[in-house]
Amino acid sequence: MNGAIIGGTGFYDAGDLLRTESVETPFGTVDVEIIRHGDSELGFLNRHGKGHSVPPHKVNYKANLKALEMLGIRHVLAGTAVGSCNPDFQNGDLILLTDLIDNTRGRSLTYFDGGESGVKHFDMSDPYCRNLRKRMSETAKDQPPGFKGEGVYCCSEGPRFETAAEVRMIRQWGGDVVGMTNVPEAQLAKELGLCYAAVSVVVNMATGMEQGAVDLEYGDGLIKASMQRLRKLLKDSLMAPLDQDHCGCSNALIPL
């Protein structure tokens, strides 16, 4: 398998289903769909589960990532629906994530909680794999309008949206988009030595930002079209196999 895709809000299937693998991890059982794309097979799961039944702060991030690793997958691309804190990024835009800010509270953030699992620290200078970002940038060139830009993701605890004052703070921190799921997903991938990268789809302007005059329907219109663009972009980016030779993802452990 060349890799796997994790879908978020508005991205519930990846098409061409071959079979479903039920993977029993130490953190729970995860159903991973195996899909065909060209000559390759890819894994797919939606982090919120069937029918969007799991809220962001309760997603079983550890089981999801572990299940992909147990299937032998080394490359993971994720989609996230976000609010925009950057006036240049408007509804429907696809944003390639380059860095992240953790503004969550009380989530279980690591596989290494002391005791039997030990204490480990991981390098996060490149939270989103540089190889995968390069691959997606190249793929997007043939799929206009491609990415609107690159951006920094700020993860809120949710499930409520931010206040206007919080959005002003996130902007001062350097955040471009705000969502509720990329922490701990991105860092758990790093702990497992997986290459991970993510693309955000702007589905609303964040609280207090001027709203663009576009529809907010997931089921129809602009957002649906953007989700379809995202789906094609992620699948096509995993069409050809990738190695782990030109990034630090499989070697991010910081020696103590």
Of 2 and 90, the one with the shorter C-beta distance to ligand HPA is 90
User: Is there binding between residue 180 and ligand HPA (CB under 6 A)?
Assistant: yes
Nearer to ligand HPA, 3 or 179 (CB): 179
Encode burial over 186-208: b for 16+ CB neighbours within 10 A, e otherwise.
bbbbbbbbbbbbbbbbbbbbbbe
Q: What's the CA gap between 205 and 202, in Å, rounded?
A: 7
Decide if residue 156 touches ligand HPA (CB under 6 A): yes
Residue of 3, 7, 175, 179 that binds ligand HPA (CB under 6 A)? 179
Number of CB atoms found within 10 A of residue 53's CB = 8
Picking from 72, 11, 81, 9, the residue whose alpha carbon sits closest to that of residue 42 is 72
Could you say whether residue 73 binds ligand HPA (CB under 6 A)? no
Distance CA 72, CA 256 (A): 28
Q: Does 178 bind ligand HPA (CB under 6 A)?
A: yes
Cβ closest to ligand HPA, residue 83 vs residue 151: 83
Among 42, 65, 81, 230, binds ligand HPA (CB under 6 A): 81
How many residues touch ligand HPA under the rule CB under 6 A: the total is: 12
Minimum Å gap between C-beta 3 and ligand HPA is 24
List the x/- string, 206-225, binding to ligand HPA by CB under 6 A.
x-------------------
- Where b means 16+ CB within 10 Å and e means fewer, 119-133 reads eeebeeebbbbebbb
- Grouping H, G, I as helix, E, B as strand and the rest as coil, residue 36 is strand
Distance in angstroms (rounded) separating the CA atoms of residues 159 and 52: 13
Q: Does 83 bind ligand HPA (CB under 6 A)?
A: yes
Based on the shown chain and the rule CB under 6 A, indicate whether residue 204 belongs to the binding site for ligand HPA: yes
Lookup: tokens for 31: 């159903």
Contacting residues toward ligand HPA, per CB under 6 A? 81-83, 156, 161-162, 178-180, 203-204, 206
